[in-house]
Amino acid sequence: MRRPTIFLCLLSSLFATDFNIRDQGAQGNGITLDTAFIQQAIDAAAEAGGGTVRFPAGTYLSFSLQLRSDVHLQFDPGATLLAADPADGQGRYDAPEPNPWDAYQDFGHSHWQNSLIWGIDLENVSITGPGKIDGKGLSRRSPGPRRPTEHGDFPLSLGDDSGAEIAVNPGGEEGNGDMDGLGTKAIALKNCRHVTLRDLTIFRAGHFALLATGIDDLTLDNLKVDTNRDGFDIDSCRQVRISNCLVNTPNDDAIVLKSSYALGENRVTENVTITNCQVSGFDLGTMLDGTFGRTQTEAPDREGVCGRIKFGTESNGGFRNIAISNITMERCRGIALETVDGGFLEDVTITNVTMREIVNAPLFLRLGARLRAPEGTRPGTLKRIRISHVNVEGADPDYASIIAGTAHDPIEDISLSHIHIRTRGGGTLEQAARELPDVDAAYPEPSMFGITNCHGFLVRHVRGITFHDVSVTPDQPDFRPPFHLHDVLGARFFGVRSYPAEDLPALSTRGDVELRQWECEPSLETSP
């Protein structure tokens, strides 16, 4: 079949701003490769000054598509963009572009062109449904930074196993050759402005359903994502609105804010709202089909399924002015706020959150000193965090909520109010006696400290923290105290309810602790 030229496409654009990919020659049968025809439509719309590239009902097999400014991709009902598999021999994804700053974050965060849909330096672009993107042919692999592996690149749960799928990198210029031709992201955008994704379904999207790096004015609304690794990675972005989204990611994070060094500078992620969203860790595909499967028990890092909301791990530029509200979380990890690579994390509010079947710490606030960053970087700050109206049911008993800085860099000014946590209980006196390690440079995960020596809140190296109307209830007796403070100054407890076993203390302390107010039942007793 003779392919229409861009000239003919442009001629038709004199009378319409819609560019139907079938008019360009796309077959939509899921077998014939449609990459060239789709790209022709995108290029024609751009040459016409902008327009809508329409995907009518059908399944369109494709490798990499380069998005253009002022172009809107519209997936009609019944339309699916299907990621081709290079192993089938029909083609390859675009090569990952060079990045001189790829020593500070993993391969996936350092490249954008090796994706199903990608765009760099664009304005006014959108991708909308109600159709679907199916990343069947994408790879979920991502080597680590292009350098020899260092401490802090791996979660401690992986130990010395450098064969782990999520972070393998032999190091050196040639270390990522096995990624050639692979596509690892459904959508990847870099240095763009005015971007909207709405009403779209994304299934099994490789490493990322969306990698958005350096985007100003980003809207994600009414998206359904059920994928084999990350959902949304929002990296070094400003003016971001995420709303009404369902994100199921058993193997990795669902909605994650990052501020990596991938752009060669410290760029803050700021002015972000996340509201009316659901995140989960059900079996792959079972959120979309409504069966909500529960057979998978671990993510590749050998801990429980993932599916959480997280800030970090990449945290060079920092996070500021962020509001999270009206969130449900089920069968997944809790909310994690992490800054370990030198960036600040400040002015965050989180409210109206319900959690069920949380597989690690319901709340994890970590200021550390991994410092995967240019030489000379110092630890950042974590302060002015307000978390309220959180209800947790069925939390994993091994991990209390954790708020942990370091001895040299404490967390500051934390407020926790109207928080009610029910755990499965069962902790032992031996666990209560544990001395938790200092792991300042480790990869941040709640498991980094091991099983916690309390079952409600572990607070370490903090200056100024308030608990108001907070309850911790184990379903069966737990012989660890509900609260443990280690090197905490300026702690206040108002209306706190806890249920320690057999008249054991409600609060244990270690090191310098300044307890300014305690209103709790039972009364305060401090362990030796």
Per DSSP, the three-state class of 25 is: coil
In this structure, are 517 and 453 located in the same domain?
yes
User: Tens digits of per-residue pLDDT, 43-90?
Assistant: 999 999 999 999 999 999 999 999 999 999 999 999 999 999 999 999
Is the whole model's pTM more than 0.75, yes or no? Answer: yes
Q: At 251, which CATH number?
A: 2.160.20.10
User: Tens digits of per-residue pLDDT, 234-252?
Assistant: 999 999 999 999 999 999 9
CA of 340: how far to CAs of 258, 268, 334, 360, in Å?
A: 11, 14, 18, 19
Segment among 82-91, 157-166, 299-308 with least mean pLDDT: 157-166
Contacts of 188 (CB under 8 A, 6+ apart): 111, 112, 113, 114, 115, 117, 118, 119, 208, 210, 211, 212, 213
Q: Count the helix, strand and coil residues of the chain and give each as a percent rounded to the nearest 5.
A: 10, 45, 45
Quick one: pLDDT at residue 143? 86
Q: Is the pLDDT of residue 18 over 80?
A: yes
Domain that holds residue 419: 334-528
In this structure, are 325 and 339 located in the same domain?
no
Domain final residue, candidates 273, 307, 331: 331
Q: Is the pLDDT of residue 168 over 70?
A: no
In this structure, are 100 and 234 located in the same domain?
yes
In this structure, are 298 and 385 located in the same domain?
no
Average of per-residue pLDDT across 12-16: 48
Average of per-residue pLDDT across 83-112: 95
For the chain, what's the residue count? 528
User: Tens digits of per-residue pLDDT, 471-508?
Assistant: 999 999 999 999 999 999 999 999 999 988 877 889 99
User: Tens digits of per-residue pLDDT, 186-204?
Assistant: 999 999 999 999 999 999 9
Do the domain assignments include residue 408? yes
Quick one: pLDDT at residue 152? 85
In this structure, are 274 and 418 located in the same domain?
no
In this structure, are 509 and 372 located in the same domain?
yes
Look at residues 23, 26, 24 and name the one whose alpha carbon lies nearest to residue 34: 26
| Position 176 confidence tier, pLDDT thresholds 50, 70, 90 | low
Quick one: pLDDT at residue 11? 47
How open is the CA angle 379-400-231, to the nearest 5 degrees? 65
Q: Is the pLDDT of residue 208 over 90?
A: yes
Give exposure, 466-492, as e/b (b: 16+ Cβ within 10 Å). Answer: bbbebbbbbeeebbbbbbbbbbbbebb
In this structure, are 291 and 423 located in the same domain?
no
In this structure, are 349 and 306 located in the same domain?
no
Domain final residue, candidates 331, 363, 389: 331
Domain final residue, candidates 331, 348, 367: 331
Q: 333 with 307: CB under 8 angstroms?
A: yes
In this structure, are 311 and 379 located in the same domain?
no
- How many domains are there within the chain? 2
Do the domain assignments include residue 28? no
Question: What is d(CA 375, CA 378) in angstroms, rounded to the nearest whole number?
Answer: 9
Among left, alpha and beta (phi > 0; psi -120 to 50; other), residue 167 is alpha
Do the domain assignments include residue 202? yes
